[in-house]
Amino acid sequence: MSSIIHSQFDITVLDVIKIQYQKRVLFDYVQSCYTVSYIQKGEVLTTSSEGEYVASAGDVMIHRPNEPFNVISKMEGVHYLFNINAKVKDGDNFFKLFPLGKVIRIRDQSEYERRFDELRSLWLQEEEDFRNVQVGSLAFFLLYEIMESTKLGGRRSSRDPYVTDRFNEALKYMEERLDQEISREELSKLYHMNPVYFSRAFQKIYKLTPMQMLRKLRLQQAKQMLEYTDYTIEHISQRCGYYDASHFSKVFRGEYGRGPAEYRKSIEYTKTNIATP
């Protein structure tokens, strides 16, 4: 008894690379194929139109073609990646028929790494028919491992918890420069991020855009200065980044329900009553 197997899988491997780095920054990077990038060492932040994800050792990142993405790491790392086009059946895109998450935790990392090393070794050899079959088979095996890992719950969602201290550097930067002009673009450069992506990621953590947070920090400082110093309203407004005292008073009133002078008087009244026996 015999069986005839018709292949329904058409795979084209375009490159197989090992990347080692001290720090890594890809900003608005666009490619024409899929990139399957396994993190053997390190941790990265990756952002795209799909959302924002933190990927660490043992995870695979899948970058879609013709969609800009960022990859940022401030630590030493090693990535195993291959660029690929894959089709099944009547030319349908493999990744559309079998949608995978942006970041996936690999179930058997040592086996994945071993198979990748085989793929890399074959890729560096001279081309021949048998070699191409082996390359395609190993690439298919790696895709199979990714799919099986997804079934076991390895798919990572953009709803994964964020590291809440991630933007502490931006907050500190704002707090130290409340009397200066600060833009979203300026803050995003601290993280080598696209300003739009930075603003979205920041807002997901703090429920405020960076500029709304800057306004909040300025008004909080103004409030403290009104409570604990004798500085004039004009001086406080300048120290808090408002060079027009009347505009500062309007913004302060909108936030706290009374103008700076009224607020200071109410604080003084409260302190006096508390101090009076």
Q: Which amino acid is at 82?
A: F
Give the model's pLDDT for residue 273. 61
Residues 241 and 138 in one domain: no
Give the model's pLDDT for residue 28. 83
- Residue 241's domain spans which residues? 168-275
- CA proximity to 197, closest of 70, 75, 73: 70
Residues 186 and 232 in one domain: yes
**Tokens at residue 45, please?**
């932040």
CATH of the domain at 238: 1.10.10.60
CA angle 16, 41, 63 (to 5 degrees): 50
Give the model's pLDDT for residue 145. 93
Residues 19 and 150 in one domain: yes
Give the model's pLDDT for residue 70. 87
> What backbone torsions phi and psi does residue 128 show, to the nearest 5 degrees?
-155, 165
Give me the tens of pLDDT residue by residue for the chain, a chain 277 residues long: 343 444 567 888 999 999 998 888 888 888 889 999 999 999 998 888 777 888 999 999 999 888 888 888 888 999 999 999 988 767 778 887 777 888 999 999 999 999 999 999 888 887 776 788 889 889 989 999 998 998 765 545 444 444 445 787 888 899 999 999 999 999 998 888 888 888 988 888 778 899 999 999 999 899 989 988 899 999 999 999 998 999 999 999 999 999 999 999 888 766 566 444 4
Residues 180 and 235 in one domain: yes
Give the model's pLDDT for residue 160. 44
Number of folded domains that form the chain: 2
Residues 173 and 257 in one domain: yes
Give the model's pLDDT for residue 4. 42
Inter-CA distances, 209 with 53, 175, 201, Å: 19, 15, 9
- CA proximity to 11, closest of 124, 95, 70: 95
Residues 117 and 72 in one domain: yes
Inter-CA distances, 186 with 176, 191, 205, 216, Å: 14, 10, 19, 18
Report the C-alpha gap between 115 and 36 in whole angstroms: 14
**Tokens at residue 175, please?**
């707090």
Domain boundary, last residue among 128, 156, 184: 156
Report the C-alpha gap between 71 and 49 in whole angstroms: 13
Residues 150 and 22 in one domain: yes
Beta carbons of 210 and 187 less than 8 angstroms apart: yes
Residue 264 lies in a domain: yes
